[in-house]
Amino acid sequence: MLVVIVGSGGREHALALACAADADVVVVPGSPGIEDHDSGIWVSGPVGETQLLDILVAYKADLYVIGPEQPLVDGLADSLRARGCVVFGPGADGAALEGSKALLKEVLDSAGVPCATSVTCRTEAEARAALEDLSEGYVVKTDGLAAGKGVLVTDDLDEAIADAVAKLRGQSFGAAGRTVVVEERLSGPEISVFFVCDGRRAVALPAAQDHKRLLDDDHGPNTGGMGAFSPVPGVGDEVLAELCRDFAEPTLHELTRRGIDFRGVLFGGFMLTSSGPRLLEYNVRFGDPETQVVLPRFDGSLVGLLMCAAQGDVTRAAPWRVRPDAVVAVVAAAAGYPVAPETGAPIAGLEEVGAVPDVRVLHAGTGFDLETGWFVNGGRVLNVVASGATLDEARERAYEGLACISWPGLQYRSDIGAAGLAAAPTLI
């Protein structure tokens, strides 16, 4: 069996490793750090945008898995299906849930899914009025894609207004911010859950918790994610079943009513409030870096599960279980990330990481030169992923592995997973 994965980051590296247990894997375009012929993983190398579809189809793969959001929003899954391919990933109509937060809110309201109250704003006057109508914190979101960085959460009204104005004027996120969604600020622990969907049904994978801010204790700017851990204390099978019943399934029902056949991942970000879970938003693909900690805990055939979902019947998938181990992923980022990442710095210490037990390095933004070796080639550069019998053990191993790696300006958070050790969250 051949599986083709579209993408080139740490998420795709994790997907490739999980799929390689049951199939040969090609990652398009991939990166030198993802390629591992001993594990049955190949990469295509650079692919021009106009060439992508023809190159993908030429592989004649049994299954195509689309990693990033942009090609999904652009309709790549539709184009592949039109060529007779089996694809795990929604068409452009389903991907619009991530492509437009305003549309997402409309769908959630119609589905009766519990979420934050919100107002969609297209003018500065509308945004100002919506923000001034709130009293306990402010959330301002870009309507369009912003690589996970388009959300401001603040207690400062003036900061919220300034952020909304900058977005609406196209100063911070270009066309993606010309419409903004203003929400009430909810409080409580956040969790991430992947729902594997076949158009009608959903299966929940283990929960994870992400760390979005650049700096310790959730300070600094938003990023694409600086690390994650799984399991989340207190979020077991019963909670996941409830989230599936009350959130994912009503969403799929509403999408079906609208004529949308959603076969892919509904990636739910939830706030566990004192009055119960509330959905913050859906993305329409596996999350990064949550995938890097969820998939190592999946004990079964991931290829089989995704194939059955892509073919429209997830109930045919072979049984699988969740490994009891805890997994922690720490992101090593480039100097200047997330505003202006500095690339080109040589990376030292990758060979030494292999000596740390139960640690694996996933490549997210690296390049390789035959003369000088590995170098920084992106904002989020490496994911140091460690497992252990306990969350504390996994954390210790992850940071022990990270300590082996260096380059000028390397950034990382020192508190990934610490929240999971503090206390179990208050749940439903």
Same domain, 24 and 51: yes
pLDDT in tens, 221-240: 989 999 999 999 999 999 99
CATH number of the CATH domain containing 174: 3.30.1490.20
Q: What is the pLDDT averaged over residues 302-311? A: 98
Is the residue at 107 inside a domain? no
Q: Are residues 315 and 334 in the same domain?
A: no
Using the 3D structure, point to which of 295, 322, 349 is the last residue of a domain.
322
Q: Say yes or no to pLDDT of 372 above 70.
A: yes
Question: What b/e readout covers 57-86, taking b as 16+ CB neighbours within 10 angstroms?
Answer: beeebbbbbbbbbebbbeebbbbbbeeebe
Q: Angle 101-111/249-257 helices, nearest 10 degrees? A: 100
Q: What is the value of pTM for the model shown?
A: 0.91
Residues 26 and 121 in one domain: no
What does the pLDDT read at residue 204?
Answer: 98
* Closest to 322 (Cα-Cα) out of 243, 205, 221: 205
Burial of 171 (0-12, 13-18, 19+ CB in 10 A): exposed
Res. 147: pLDDT tops 80:
no
pLDDT at 426 over 50: no
Any domain includes 106: no
Mean pLDDT of the chain: 94
Mean pLDDT of 131-159: 84
The H or E element containing residue 73 is: helix 69-73
Task: Give the least confident one: 136-145, 248-257, 346-355, 372-381.
Answer: 136-145
Write out the two tokens for 372: 């000088």
Strands, E assignment, 12-144: 24-29, 41-43, 63-66, 87-88, 118-121, 138-142
Report if residue 97 sits inside a domain.
no
- In terms of residues, how long is the chain? 428
Residues 201 and 318 in one domain: yes
Minimal CA–CA distance to 64: which of 81, 49, 51, 47? 81
Q: 243-256, pLDDT tens digit by residue?
A: 999 999 999 999 99
Both 225 and 286 in one domain: the answer is yes
Boundary (domain end) residue, out of 302, 322, 342: 322
Structural domain count of the chain = 4
Regarding whether 245 and 121 lie in a shared domain, the answer is no
Cis peptide before 289 (omega within 30 of 0): yes
Note whether 162 and 219 are same-domain residues: no
**Is 109 inside any structural domain?**
no
For position 246, which CATH number holds?
3.30.470.20
Which of 74-78, 174-178, 309-313, 401-405 shows the lowest per-residue confidence on average (mean pLDDT)?
A: 174-178
* Closest C-alpha among 87, 97, 224, 77 to residue 150: 224
* H helices present in 334-390, as ranges: 350-353
Identify whether residues 82 and 151 lie together within a single domain.
Answer: no
Instruction: Mark which of 288, 322, 356 sits at the end of a domain.
Output: 322
The answer to whether residue 99 sits within a structural domain is no
Please check whether residues 140 and 178 belong to one and the same domain. yes
Confidence (pLDDT) at 423 = 52
Give a yes or no: residue 98 inside a domain: no
Torsional sign, CA 5, 8, 13, 17: positive
Residue 369 has pLDDT above 90, yes or no: yes
Helix-strand-coil split of the chain, %, nearest 5: 35, 30, 40
Amino acid in the structure at residue 120: T
Give the domain CATH number at 339: 3.90.600.10
pLDDT of residue 148: 64
Domain of 68, CATH number, reads 3.40.50.20
Indicate whether 36 belongs to any domain: yes
User: Quick one: 369 and 384 in the same domain?
Assistant: yes
Asked if residue 79 and residue 23 are part of one domain, the reply reads yes
Residue 100 lies in a domain: no
User: Domain range for residue 54?
Assistant: 2-91
Burial class (CB in 10 A: 0-12, 13-18, 19+), 407: buried
186 is written with which tokens? 């909810």
